[in-house]
């Protein structure tokens, strides 16, 4: 079986039929992780426990009793999800060495389905950032930097220039998870999405990135950034896989009071052939300043694709889009300031050696434990929450948030089913270029297209669409109605089939194929 294959088409069947064993699959993924270590996608590789889980899965398969379609499937989880017995760091010195005593609900669900947890992936510290470059374990490298497609297109500036120095970023903050899926080290990975942190790296790494509706998937055990916007995100190589993972994770969790009560029914995605009843909205405000002409053209082409296939494609307006970045900044920093208050060095995590007084210990611990990005947001957030500022900033931002959410309600009420927008302003930039600007500037720029969906709590998905002139992935985003993931994914799946996004050609992956790979397959499955 090919590592590249989707869950349902080959691997799950292969496991069931015994053509490949969970242990083999696990070993192969672990070996590939080792060979792709230069990507820095993983912070912790849980080799022993993964192999043990694989063995247990093997037992079940031998008995003919697999737990489900995820049994034996290697997965990875972003390092801001609690995993019992496995270090959870949030890529921060504050939690270096922190071993949580409990599993996040989504982690537990994956394990209960028999998935094999390979390890914890890299991110921006505490999920703050859009590059996966600001964690204490260093930046994540986009696997496409090493693809034949990118290398063919990149012109070396001089012979002596290090080939390695023009590697591109993954985007963020779930860059490690996106890179892990993109480089075939796992079949699915969990990320988190607060302002675009799953969709952004998905677009840059050429994978599917799903942000579910707020309240559909439990946040219990996800170390929060902004409680009122965070969702667990799903990264896979095809839309069908995302639907499968969604099915195993969604539903009410009594431990998370913000999950919906209604019973969730996992669904199979129909193979949509007729889009004539569909109405696709193109929000004009998403033609944002800085949008590359390449992506603009691709977006337009996609709209034409739907129209030519018989769908109704209309321009719509979400007039408050331009306020969302500023609004997000206020609300995000306020919640960050609050959520980070618990890191005082007393109960867990880093504690400074400073012993003069409790106060000085707190101050030193937090200065040592947090990077500048985190500390900057805490300071801003505390400022906005001061009594004299609360009305002007926090309450005002909440009101603007309501307006932003209402924009979407109005548009969906007017008959539009799905919105089609770009996911990012451009393809992935080289790391050296990315770090020229600070985190705050970058985040403000890069979140523009993704962040309103978090404000409104809506489901959204990045679907890899085409390669840029530089040979790097570009994705497009679909935004759906609240809790209408089935419709959203159905449309996304149709689109995925139309565009036939090319498979990444990675030398290192070929080496691990051991000739068991079939000929190159595209990412679409019929």
Partner 1 sequence: LAPWIPVVGLEIHAQISSNSKLFSGSQVQFAAPPNSLVSFFDASLPGTLPVLNRRCVEAAVMTGLALNCSINKKSLFDRKHYFYADLPAGYQITQQRVPIAVNGSLSYILCIDNKMSQMVTKTVRIKQIQLEQDSGKSLHDDTRSQTLVDLNRAGVGLMEVVMEPDMCCGEEAAAAVRELQLILQTLGSSQAVMAEGQLRVDANVSVHHPGEPYGVRTEVKNINSLRFLAKAVDYEIQRQIEELENGGTVLNETRAFDSKLGCTVPMRDKEGKQDYRFMPEPNLPPLILYDAKSLPANMNHQQVINIDWIHERLPDLPSVKREKLVEQYGILPEHSFALLNEDGLAEFFESVVKQTRMKPKKVIGWILNNLLSYLKQHSLTVKESPVSSFLLADLLNLLEKKEISSTAARQVLAELWKGEGKTPLEIVKEQKLELLQDQKELEEICQAVIDGQENE
Residue ranges binding partner 1 (CB under 8 A): 81-82, 88, 90, 95, 100-102, 104, 219-224, 226-228, 254-258, 261, 334-335, 337-338, 340-344, 346-348, 355, 358-359, 362, 382, 385-387, 390, 394
| Closest distance of CB 96 from partner 1, Å | 13
| Nearest residue (CB) to partner 1, 89 versus 113 | 89
| Closest distance of CB 449 from partner 1, Å | 24
Half-sphere exposure of 459 (CA within 13 A, CB side): 26
Q: Supply the residues annotated as catalytic.
A: 78, 173, 197
| Closest distance of CB 515 from partner 1, Å | 43
Taking alpha carbons only, the member of 315, 306, 314 closest to residue 276 is 306
User: In Å, how far from its chain's centre is CA 374?
Assistant: 20
| Closest distance of CB 422 from partner 1, Å | 29
| Closest distance of CB 17 from partner 1, Å | 38
Taking alpha carbons only, the member of 178, 179, 216 closest to residue 197 is 178
Question: Contact, 520 vs 503, CB < 8 A?
Answer: yes
Give the neighbor-by-neighbor strand order of the sheet with 231-236: 42-45, 116-121, 74-78, 188-193, 231-236, 208-211, 460-467, 473-479, 418-422, 279-283, 312-316
| Nearest residue (CB) to partner 1, 54 versus 331 | 331
| Nearest residue (CB) to partner 1, 301 versus 342 | 342
What is the torsional sign of CA 85, 107, 198, 526?
Answer: positive
| Closest distance of CB 88 from partner 1, Å | 8
| Nearest residue (CB) to partner 1, 93 versus 524 | 93
Distance of alpha carbon 503 from alpha carbon 207, whole angstroms: 10
First to last CA, the chain: 17
Adjacent-strand bridge partners of 117 = 75
| Nearest residue (CB) to partner 1, 277 versus 387 | 387
| Closest distance of CB 363 from partner 1, Å | 10
Distance of alpha carbon 103 from alpha carbon 116, whole angstroms: 14
| Nearest residue (CB) to partner 1, 103 versus 145 | 103
> Dihedral of the CA atoms 515, 516, 518, 523 (nearest 10)?
-110
Distance of alpha carbon 427 from alpha carbon 227, whole angstroms: 29
| Nearest residue (CB) to partner 1, 162 versus 359 | 359
What is the torsional sign of CA 287, 290, 293, 299?
Answer: negative
Distances (CA, A) of 93 to 135, 173, 322, 359, 364: 9, 17, 35, 20, 13
How many Cβ atoms are within 10 Å of 368's Cβ, its own excluded?
15
Q: Where are the beta strands (DSSP E) in 365-520?
A: 418-422, 460-467, 473-479
Distances (CA, A) of 404 to 54, 420, 423, 443: 46, 17, 18, 19
């Amino acid at each position: 079986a090919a590592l590249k294959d989707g869950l349902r088409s080959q691997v799950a069947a292969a496991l069931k039929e015994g053509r490949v064993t969970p242990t083999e699959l696990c070993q192969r993924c672990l070996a590939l992780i080792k060979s792709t270590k230069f990507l820095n996608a993983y912070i912790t590789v849980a080799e022993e426990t993964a192999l043990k889980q694989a063995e247990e899965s093997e037992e079940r398969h031998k008995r003919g009793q697999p737990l489900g379609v995820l049994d034996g499937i290697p997965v990875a989880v972003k390092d801001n999800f609690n995993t019992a017995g496995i270090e959870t760091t949030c890529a921060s010195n504050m939690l270096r060495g922190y071993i949580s005593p409990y599993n996040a609900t989504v982690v537990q669900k994956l394990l209960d389905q028999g998935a094999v947890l390979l390890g914890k992936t890299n991110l921006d510290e505490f999920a703050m950032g859009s590059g996966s470059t600001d964690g204490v374990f260093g930046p994540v490298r986009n696997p496409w930097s090493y693809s034949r497609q990118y290398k063919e297109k990149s012109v070396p500036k001089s012979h002596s220039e290090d080939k390695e120095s023009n590697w591109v970023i993954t985007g963020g903050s779930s860059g490690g998870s996106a890179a892990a899926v993109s480089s075939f080290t796992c079949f699915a990975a969990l990320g988190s999405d607060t302002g675009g942190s799953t969709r952004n790296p998905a677009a840059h790494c050429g994978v599917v990135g799903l942000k579910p509706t707020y309240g559909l998937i439990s946040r219990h055990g996800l170390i929060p950034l902004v409680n009122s916007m965070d969702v667990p995100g799903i990264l896979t190589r095809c839309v069908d896989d995302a639907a499968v993972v969604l099915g195993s994770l969604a539903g009410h969790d009594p431990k998370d009071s913000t999950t919906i009560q209604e019973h969730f029914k996992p669904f199979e995605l129909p193979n949509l052939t007729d889009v004539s009843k569909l109405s696709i909205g193109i929000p004009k405000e998403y033609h944002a300043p800085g949008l590359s002409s390449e992506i603009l053209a691709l977006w337009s082409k996609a709209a034409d694709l739907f129209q030519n296939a018989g769908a109704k494609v209309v321009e719509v307006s979400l007039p408050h889009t331009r306020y969302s970045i500023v609004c997000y900044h206020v609300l995000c920093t306020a919640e960050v300031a609050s959520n980070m208050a618990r890191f005082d060095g007393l109960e867990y995590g880093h504690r400074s050696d400073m012993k003069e007084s409790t106060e000085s210990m707190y101050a030193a611990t937090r200065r040592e434990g947090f990077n500048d990005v985190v500390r900057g947001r805490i300071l801003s957030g505390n400022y906005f929450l001061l009594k004299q500022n609360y009305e002007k900033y926090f309450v005002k931002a909440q009101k603007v948030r309501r307006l932003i959410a209402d924009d979407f309600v109005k548009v969906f009420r007017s008959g539009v089913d799905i919105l089609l927008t770009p996911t990012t302003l451009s393809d992935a930039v080289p790391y050296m270029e990315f770090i020229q600007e600070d985190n705050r500037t970058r985040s403000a720029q890069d979140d523009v297209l993704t962040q309103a969906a978090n404000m409104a709590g809506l489901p959204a998905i990045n679907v890899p669409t085409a390669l840029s002139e530089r040979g790097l992935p570009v994705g497009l985003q679909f935004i759906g109605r609240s809790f209408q993931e089935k419709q959203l994914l159905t449309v996304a799946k149709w689109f995925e089939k139309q565009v036939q996004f090319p498979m990444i050609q990675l030398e290192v992956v070929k080496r691990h194929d051991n000739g068991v790979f079939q000929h190159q397959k595209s990412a679409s499955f019929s």
